[in-house]
Amino acid sequence: MDQMRRNLIAQWAFDTRSILGRFHLWLEDVEEHWLNGQPDKEHAFTGDSLERGFIVANAVTALGTRLFGRFGEGAGQDKATVNRVKKDADAVSAYALSEALWYLTRSLPENHAVMISLGEGLMPKAGETPEMGSNPQLGFGRVYARPEVARFLDHAVHRLLNDATYEWPEFWAEINHTGITVWGAAVDTLENTSRFAKGSPNGPMAVFHLFDQPLKVARPFEGYMGNLIL
C-alpha cells in the first residue's frame, strides 16, 4: 500500500471517527472511484469532512442491518413470519442510522441542524391501527443538532404540525430570523424490506438524500434520489 492510499484511509478514519467509535469499527481500506473525471474541490455543500461522515453513516446502517436484521429469514415462510422479519430489520436499520446521525451531527457548525423531513424507518404499515395509515412517522429522531438548536427546531416543528395559525411561511421566517441553517433529509433506512427478508442477493439498501434546506412535501409520493449504499 503506497503513501497516498494510507493518507486517504487516515483522512476517512479521522473524519468519521465519531461513527466508527460508536460502533467499535475499524476502517481498513477505502477506495474512491469517480465515473466522470474528478469532482470540483468542496463540491458538496456540507464540506468534504461531513460528506464522508454521511456516507459512512449510511454504510454502517447497511452493514448493521445485514448482520443483525435477520437477513433472509423470511424466505419460504408464511406472511406473519415475513412481516415479523421485516419489522425486526426496520428496527435495526432505524437504530443504526439514528445512532450514526446523532454522533455525526456533533460535528455540525453551531447554528446548523439536520432535520429528517420525510422518510421510512420503523414506519407503520397501513391497516395496523386506524390512526397509523401510511403516515411517514419515523422510528428515530426528527432533528439532529446541538441541544439549543434542536430544542428550538423541535418546538417549531411541533407548532407546524399542531397550530393551525403557524404554517410553512411562519416556520421558514422564524428559522431565517434566528439565523439557523436547516438541512432537510429524505430517508429510507431499508429500501424494500420484502426483498431483504427473503434474502435477495442485493442485500440491504439504505437511501439518504440531503438537501440544503428543509423539505415541504406537497403531495404523497413514491420515489427516491440519493446515495445508494449496498
Residue 62 in grid coordinates: 447497511
Q: Would you say 203 and 230 are in contact if contact means Cβ atoms under 8 Å apart?
A: yes
Q: Is 190 helix (H, G, I), strand (E, B) or coil?
A: coil
Phi-psi region at 7: left, alpha or beta (left = phi > 0; alpha = psi -120 to 50)? alpha
H or E segment to which residue 167 belongs? none
- Sequence-distant (≥ 6) Cβ neighbours of residue 105 within 8 angstroms: 113, 114, 144, 145
Full-model pTM: 0.83
Three-class SS string for 53-81? HHHHHHHHHHHHHHHHCCCCCCCCCCHHH
Burial of 55 per CB tally in 10 Å (0-12, 13-18, 19+): middle
Which pLDDT tens digit goes with each residue over 177-214? 999 999 988 888 888 888 999 999 888 988 888 998 88
Residue 13 in grid coordinates: 478514519
The pLDDT, as a whole number, for residue 188 is 85
In a 13 Å sphere around the CA of 143, the CA atoms on its Cβ side amount to 21
Three-class SS string for 131-143? CCCCCCCCCCCCE
Rounded Cα gap, residues 197 and 14, in angstroms: 34
Rounded Cα gap, residues 220 and 42, in angstroms: 34
The pLDDT, as a whole number, for residue 137 is 47
Neighbours of 230 (CB within 10 A): 10
Q: With b meaning 16 or more CB within 10 Å and e meaning fewer, what string describes 127-158?
A: eeeeeeeeebebbbbbbbbeeebbebbbebbe
The DSSP output letter for 37 is S
The pLDDT, as a whole number, for residue 124 is 53
Mean pLDDT, consecutive 10-residue stretches, the chain (230 aa), reads 92 96 95 76 82 94 94 92 88 90 91 83 51 45 86 89 91 93 89 90 88 74 50
The pLDDT, as a whole number, for residue 122 is 53
Nearest to 183 by CA among 103, 101, 120: 101
The pLDDT, as a whole number, for residue 78 is 92
Q: What is the dihedral of CA 139, 192, 93, 153, to 10 degrees?
A: -40
